[in-house]
Amino acid sequence: MNRPEVLLIIAGSGRMLAEAAHKAGYQVMVIDHFADLDTRAHAIEVRRAPSLALEHVAPILEDLIGCYGVGRVIYGSGLEYHPETLEYLNSRFTLMGNAPDVFRGLQNKVVFFATLARLKIPFPQVSFTVPDIRCEWLTKPMQGLGGLGIRRDDAKGSCDEDVYWQKFQPGTPGSVLFLADSRDARIVGFNTQRTVQVSAGLEFAFFGLINHSILSGRQKALISLWLTQCVQIFGLKGLNSLDFIHDGEHVFVLEINPRPSASMQLYGDLLNLHIEACRGTLPDTLPGQKGFAGFQVVYADAELRIPADLDWPDWARDRPEAGALCRAGQPVCSIEACGREPQEVWAALAARQQQIFKQLNKVQCDGISSECE
């Protein structure tokens, strides 16, 4: 009897991809920052790395190669900061995702926005030198993810960081998840996103999303055209997402994430479709969406340590191990909810977040009371 293929997942947080790979029938190995309870439940081996820098990842990989027959690798978020690791992975394994040169091309903001301008795809005004009037601008990292590092420019910060400036654009953030084969794109779904302020001056952190959008049919068709153009020019493959912001009739592109994004988990089993798209085959049709689903990150509002006797609800994901320290502004876990209407999903996510906080506070208060008895 043939054993399932071993698939390596590497990401800042590997839980989403590990769960998808496990459901698809693979034996899963994971390298990420957390090695949380959910990831361990879906993998035969999980290794925690302090970062995804090559100096931290390479020794772990060499050890895993000696123990398992690893052939293919899927990467998620986190390699934006470590392109050298992606180059190393590409030299040792078969990457199920965009090649390093494609990934670098999307991270080069000068080239990216120049390409959008040439294609007449609208985007908020950007500058790679200090604007004359800085109060109307955001500073954004050249290589960033999850909204971290985006700040309102108060004209007081240093200008020698690896950042660029983007004119603040009011509106509703959104994204579109799509499959690509370097020639064409298949839209999986449009999403509405939310951001949250997790600390002073850091108000655009990714908070959550739902597989619903108020875009008009005309706007969706226009974005579909933009996707096809970008797929062909940048050579995108597999699952990717495009972030945008819309304000009335206007839609502005923000960035393309050349990897599976958090919205992947809202649309059912997509991992094998990702692999097939990387091989050059797109599906003729995609499963229809039934109802609405949402995903949200729960950030710590104060420093806390995860208690050993916390009873995690079934809808909690990315659950840290007992004893893990979560500092204020850092993720505690994530939560999911489904519903027949979008507002029902948002309301359920809000209620579930409060339930997580109540459980954490109760366990910690009970622990303090026990110590005092």
pLDDT digits (tens, 9 = 90+) for 256-294: 999 999 999 999 999 999 999 999 999 998 988 889 999
The CATH architecture that domain 6-96 belongs to is 3-Layer(aba) Sandwich (3.40)
49, 55, 54: which is closest to 35 by C-alpha? 49
Here the tokens at position 342 are 């979008």
User: Per-residue confidence at 366, pLDDT binned at 50, 70, 90?
Assistant: low
- The edge-to-edge listing of strands for the beta sheet with 292-299 is 250-257, 237-247, 172-181, 185-196, 205-210, 292-299, 331-339, 316-317
Cα–Cα distance for residue pair 148/52, rounded to 1 Å: 17
Q: What superfamily does domain 105-278 belong to in CATH? A: ATP-grasp fold, B domain (3.30.470.20)
> Burial of 208 by CB count in 10 Å (0-12 exposed, 13-18 middle, 19+ buried)?
buried
Model pLDDT for residues 176-202, shown as the tens digit of each residue: 999 999 999 999 999 999 999 988 767
Model pLDDT for residues 121-132, shown as the tens digit of each residue: 999 999 999 887
Q: Are 98 and 83 in contact (CB under 8 A)?
A: no
Cα–Cα distance for residue pair 212/199, rounded to 1 Å: 28
User: Per-residue confidence at 365, pLDDT binned at 50, 70, 90?
Assistant: low
95, 104, 92, 56: which is closest to 75 by C-alpha? 95
Question: Looking at the predicted structure, is the pLDDT value of residue 52 above 50?
Answer: yes
What rounded mean pLDDT belongs to the chain? 91
Average pLDDT (192-216) is 91
Q: Could you tell me which residues come within 8 angstroms of residue 265 by beta carbon, excluding any fewer than 6 positions away?
A: 16, 19, 20, 295, 336
User: Per-residue confidence at 157, pLDDT binned at 50, 70, 90?
Assistant: low
| pLDDT at 1 (0 to 100) | 52
Beta strands 151-152 and 137-141 are antiparallel
Model pLDDT for residues 101-117, shown as the tens digit of each residue: 999 999 999 999 999 99
Cα–Cα distance for residue pair 346/264, rounded to 1 Å: 18
- Amino acid letter, residue 234: F
* Lookup result for tokens 């030198």: 129
**Strand ranges, E, within 233-274:** 237-247, 250-257
| pLDDT at 151 (0 to 100) | 85
Which helix (H) or strand (E) element contains residue 38? helix 37-42
Q: What percent of the chain has pLDDT over 70?
A: 94
Which helix (H) or strand (E) element contains residue 72? strand 72-75
CA dihedral 168, 171, 172, 174 (to 10 degrees): -60
> Burial of 157 by CB count in 10 Å (0-12 exposed, 13-18 middle, 19+ buried)?
middle
Q: Are 352 and 337 in contact (CB under 8 A)?
A: yes
| pLDDT at 202 (0 to 100) | 78
Question: Looking at the predicted structure, is the pLDDT value of residue 150 above 90?
Answer: no
3, 40, 2, 51: which is closest to 18 by C-alpha? 40
Q: 272 to each of 239, 267, 292, how far by Cα in Å?
A: 10, 13, 22
Cα–Cα distance for residue pair 113/253, rounded to 1 Å: 9
